[in-house]
Structure 1
Amino acid sequence: MSLLPKIKTKENGDRYDLELSNGRFSLYVIKKYESIQLIGDILTGISFVTGSILNITGAASIYGQILYLIGSLALTVRPTIKIIRRSKLNRGKS
């Protein structure tokens, strides 16, 4: 038995689902892109909370500032990914 799960992408109309299976356990993720985006939001929140705690305690303010920067970049990347995902580039006839 492998430690890595088997990953399958399933297309249901205009949405893409993800199935992860390993042995007798399987996880079915509906709307995989939206789910990945939610995980990114959680990680962004964790970086801001951790940065706040580090700055409040004064333990290592440089690490807090780095986490704030990472969180800010993540908030900038999110709408960019949404725009790219919702756009199509078609080649016109010349």
Structure 2
Amino acid sequence: MGLIPKIRTKEKSDRYDLEIDQGPFKIYFTEKYATLQLIGDIMVGVSFVTGSILNFWQATDLYGNIAYLLGSLSLTIRPILKIIRKTWIYGMKKDDADSTTDG
């Protein structure tokens, strides 16, 4: 039995699920990307709570500000990742391009 879990992506019709297998335990998450997004949201929350707690004491102000910065960067990256995930780029065939310009 290894220490590193086996992580697999399962394709179910129009969605991708995530399966994590570690010894006798198996965890199955539906909608892999939605699950990863929720994990990211939890990490943002933890970084802001950590920053708030660390700013109570002057000796840990720097670490609190770093936690706030990491949380803010995570909130900025999140919508960028959503846009990338929902964007598809296709190449056009030359025949298709010519037919649209003939009018």
TM-score (norm 1): 0.91
Is 1:47 equivalent to 2:47 in the alignment? yes
- SS of match in other structure, 1:59: helix
Q: Which runs of 4+ in 1 moved over 2 A?
A: 56-59
RMSD: 1.2
- SS of match in other structure, 1:60: helix
- SS of match in other structure, 1:9: strand
Of 56-65 and 34-43, more deviation after overlay is shown by 56-65
Of 23-32 and 77-86, more deviation after overlay is shown by 23-32
1:88 Cα deviation after fit: 0.2
Specify every segment of 5 or more residues in structure 2 that has no aligned partner in the other structure, as ranges: 95-103
Which amino acid is 1:80 matched to? Answer: I
Specify every segment of 5 or more residues in structure 1 that has no aligned partner in the other structure, as ranges: none
Q: Which has the larger radius of gyration?
A: 2
1:17 Cα deviation after fit: 0.4
Is 1:38 equivalent to 2:38 in the alignment? yes
Is 1:73 equivalent to 2:102 in the alignment? no
Identity of aligned residues (%): 56
Work out the number of aligned pairs and report it. Answer: 94
TM-score (norm 2): 0.84
- SS of match in other structure, 1:56: coil
